[in-house]
Chains A and B, each alone.
Chain A
Amino acid sequence: DQQVKQNSPSLSVQEGRISILNCDYTNSMFDYFLWYKKYPAEGPTFLISISSIKDKNEDGRFTVFLNKSAKHLSLHIVPSQPGDSAVYFCAASGVNYGQNFVFGPGTRLSVLP
């Protein structure tokens, strides 16, 4: 039973446009959400996070939106750059859930020049 879902295995976007990556979760005990970026042959790299007390967090070109009622979050990248091409993982955790992070299956983003 997948508790964190990323229903789009891949996404292609033109350079300079917006990339929107989506993530859905099922467990209401999650209260902290993270996005990681992974290049081939490297470990995941932390990108941005959001706590459930917020609905938006911004860091440069990256913005994460959280809709708790829909159990949905999204990562917006504006403007997209070719160097953003990577696999993006959504992860969730919670103080009352347990001592680990639950990852989604990932979305492969390709930014085309």
Chain B
Amino acid sequence: DSGVTQTPKHLITATGQRVTLRCSPRSGDLSVYWYQQSLDQGLQFLIQYYNGEERAKGNILERFSAQQFPDLHSELNLSSLELGDSALYFCASTLTGAVNTEAFFGQGTRLTVV
């Protein structure tokens, strides 16, 4: 158990809809990262937050947004969903947001858009 909790584990929704994925980092970790893994692909970095502030942005679509709340949990909002958004979405956390350390991952949310 990595200590990172993601909910829900599975989500099935229709095209055009909006969903919210939730992540609780390890206790004490200040930084949260979101990654997308499409079928048989590597993990694509979407966005990072540190202590409530956006720290870095990767290949995140404009239809996607995220935030980190004062209690340090994070939410990833995906809107106007398309079939191609079907993927595994992982959240990871680190203590300080420094990159020269390991990140701990949650079990992921599998999103299926039909």
Contacts and interface: CB of A to CB of B under 8 A. Distances in A.
Interface of A: 4, 31-32, 34, 36, 41-46, 49, 51, 89, 93-95, 97-106
What's the dominant secondary structure at chain A's contact region? strand
A4 B45 CA distance: 13
Q: Which of A42, A43, A93, A106 has the most CB of B within 10 A?
A: A43
What's the dominant secondary structure at chain B's contact region? loop
Contacts of B48: 99-100
Nearest to A96: B99
A53 to B, nearest CB: 11
Contact of A101 (B4, B6, B45): B45
Interface of B: 2, 4, 6, 33, 35, 40-45, 48, 50, 55-56, 58, 90, 92, 97-100, 102-108
A103 B42 contact: yes
A43 B42 contact: no
Contact of A34 (B2, B45, B102): B102
A100 B42 contact: no
A106 to B, nearest CB: 6
Contacts of A101: 33, 45, 99, 103
A100 B90 CA distance: 14
B102 A99 contact: no
27 contacts: A4-B42, A31-B100, A43-B4, A43-B107, A43-B108, A44-B43, A44-B90, A89-B42, A89-B43, A93-B100, A94-B99, A95-B99, A95-B100, A98-B99, A99-B50, A99-B55, A99-B56, A100-B48, A100-B58, A100-B99, A101-B45, A102-B45, A103-B42, A103-B43, A103-B45, A105-B41, A106-B42
Contacts of A32: 99-100
A51 B100 contact: yes
A92 B105 CA distance: 16
A45 B107 CA distance: 10
A42 to B, nearest CB: 6
Contacts of B50: 99
A46 B104 contact: yes
